[in-house]
Amino acid sequence: MTMAYPDPAFRRPRARKLARTITNLWLVAVLVLLTLAISSVRPQLVESTNMISMLRSFSIMAVMVLGLTWVIAAGQIDVSFMQVAALANMMTAALLAHGYGWSVAIAVALGTGVLAGLINGWLVAALRLPALIVTIATAGICASAAAALGKGTVIRIADAGPLGWMLNTPVLSIVPVIVLPVAVLALAAWYIQERLTLGRYIYAMAQNEAAVRSVGVPVTRLMILLFTLSGLCAAMAGVMLAASLSSGQPTIGGPFLINGLTVVLLGGMMVHVGKPNILGTLTATLFLGVLFSGAALLGLPDYQRQIIQGVLLALGLGVATWAGRHHGSRGGESEK
């Protein structure tokens, strides 16, 4: 009597489907397990006050790195985003302190972010300067300008305005109102990256920019657009920070560098492995928020949280690099 084994050709689609499901959902599963594990020891994690605080921080960080996600997905880097946010934060506070309304303060702060992004994009895309060096320089200029606005001190805001209401008013007792417009913005960004031709160009530029240029795609203008969007998103987050903290703080940008890079690279380990994507960034942002909030509730010292974050950043960078090389080797084989 012979035993019948499933045809390998039959098993292969199942294996691919299982692998795709794991790739898409593994970070979501880890997020759920982490939340359950910490809340079983520290129920305060899922209490309304802490949930509102976490989701408020999530909203600010998510907005800050939406544009950065696209820049890194296109094979470039922007390390000025956090200092652009700090400058927008100080610009908002300074204008409010001088008697201007929130509408003027927001418009000027967002315009500052757009200008910083345009300069970055032009230097990188048109003049072909290294993105890392360009954005380091921009970060230094923005940080100095932010310090100069307040002469190195904090600028207090008397009225947090409509943004303050959105950041602090909950819906269903645990979700701040600000989450709703942020979710709409993130959904639009996801749709553009995953469903429109522009998103395909972003992914393709990271793999072979010359090939994208050869088919007539205006790569220079597209890259300038991506850096401009990164600056705009960072400035939006800076304005939100001003309303959330009721102040402008010139040194507020520093901690966001490693946080932003961690969530983008960690998020690039799901959905499209090695390719930063909006859904992955949002999941990683929420994951990092739960991790840090849980670590604080568990009494872990800062250095342990920084070690965990460093490990996550290194892991995300390693997987992104491996995936890029793997893709390149497969591409070379297919061409042969």
pLDDT tens per residue across span 87-135: 999 999 999 999 999 999 999 999 999 999 999 999 999 999 999 999 9
What is the percent of the chain where pLDDT is above 90? Answer: 69
Q: Would you kindly state where each structural domain of the chain is located, as residue ranges?
A: 49-252
Q: Which residue has the tokens 């300074």?
A: 94
Question: How high is the pLDDT of residue 331?
Answer: 43
pLDDT tens digits along 147-206: 999 998 999 999 999 999 999 999 888 899 999 999 999 999 999 999 999 999 999 999
Per-residue pLDDT reduced to its tens digit, 277-327:
999 999 999 999 998 999 899 888 888 878 887 787 777 667 666 665 654
Contacting residues for 164 by C-beta, under 8 A, at least 6 apart: 243, 244, 246
- 161's CB contacts (< 8 A; 6+ apart) are 102, 243
Structure tokens, 59: 């909203």
> Rounded distance, CA 264 to CA 259, Å?
9
The structure tokens listed for 202 are 């972003």
| Nearest by Cα to 159 from 243, 82, 103, 224 | 243
Predicted confidence at residue 300, as pLDDT, reads 84
> Which residue intervals of 196-297 are DSSP H helices?
197-207, 209-214, 219-245, 256-267, 278-297
